[in-house]
Amino acid sequence: MLTSIAGRSVIVTGASKGIGKGIARVFAKAGGKVLVVARDQGAAQKTADEIKAAGGTAAAFSADVRKWEDMERMAAAAERAHGGVDILCANAGIFPAAKLTEMTAEKWDEVLATNLKGTFLAVKACLPGMKKKGKGRIIITSSITGPVTGYPGWTHYGASKAGQLGFLRTACMELAPSNITINAVMPGNIRTEGLEGLGPEYEKKMTDSIPLRRLGTVEDIAYGALYFASDEAAYVTGQTLIIDGGQILPESLAALEEMGN
């Protein structure tokens, strides 16, 4: 386990459930002091309590990543609770499906506001604290969907996840002089509350299309994020890490069948 984040102040958005909760747990286990952020205060508190019960350090904070005032209050809360912001995991995201025929401007805006604008606002709010410390680490949760692959119903989602990578490639240059790195994990299909909402049939089809023949765990993603947050990754910025059990590689159904299991 990478332990160089011990004692560091970590903000994880969307940490009450799913991948964010996994990141919060793994970072706390590595010694980080974690601010668990979600809109539902009760759910965020439950995650923070679970981390504390396991011997970690955590506090809960209710905030909506779509709102600038909330993101400013979030950074201030990390300053008060844990003495600043060393690491931001901009993870909060939603993936409601809508094909183009049913897509509305409102549905489009909801996804872009949470996934893309929410990433920008969380990053911007944490910069003053990181600059004060003379260093920082930002890890974005993107996806394979959008940057690499497509899936009917997710034009807005794919655009938001590809947009995060466009954001990161310029942000890495603007932030490098302040000794702040920014990288992204790109999960495949990970077993989370959000994914379970897509139903058992989706899950079965996804499992069949993954060379490692299982959905990912939230820890699979968290360990990738932990690497980017560590001192060992000091020279890595503007990069992405696909964590998908090999899902993007089969060129066809025939390739998967040829694997023979």
Cα 73 to Cα 3, 28, 38: the distances in Å are 28, 22, 13
CB of 200 to ligand NAP, least distance (A): 15
C-alpha–C-alpha distance, residues 197 and 113, integer Å: 21
Residue 151 annotated to the active site? no
Site pattern 175..214 for ligand NAP (x: CB under 6 A): ------------x-xx-xxxx-------------------
C-alpha–C-alpha distance, residues 131 and 179, integer Å: 8
CB of 36 to ligand NAP, least distance (A): 9
CB of 142 to ligand NAP, least distance (A): 7
The 3-class SS string of 172-217 reads: HHHHHHHCEEEEEEEECCECCHHHHCCCHHHHHHHHHCCCCCCCEC
Q: Interface with ligand NAP by CB under 6 A: which range of 18-26, 129-137, 147-155, 168-176? A: 18-26
Q: Which of 45, 57, 114, 155 binds ligand NAP (CB under 6 A)?
A: 114
- Read off the amino acid at residue 165: L
Instruction: Examine residue 244 and tell whether it contacts ligand NAP (CB under 6 A).
Output: no
DSSP one-letter code for 55 = T
Q: Which of 9, 45, 57, 91 binds ligand NAP (CB under 6 A)?
A: 91
Instruction: Examine residue 245 and tell whether it contacts ligand NAP (CB under 6 A).
Output: no
Q: Which of 2, 76, 94, 241 binds ligand NAP (CB under 6 A)?
A: 94
Instruction: Judge contact between 184 and 88, C-beta under 8 A.
Output: no
CB of 125 to ligand NAP, least distance (A): 13
CB of 79 to ligand NAP, least distance (A): 19
Backbone angles phi and psi of 98, in degrees to 5: -160, 120
Number of residues that bind ligand NAP (CB under 6 A): 32
| Sheet hosting strand 136-141, strand order edge to edge | 57-62, 33-38, 9-13, 87-90, 136-141, 180-187, 240-243
Q: Which residues are marked as active site?
A: 157
Residues forming contacts to ligand NAP in the complex (CB under 6 A) are: 13-20, 38-40, 43, 64-66, 91-95, 114-115, 118, 141, 143, 187, 189-190, 192-195
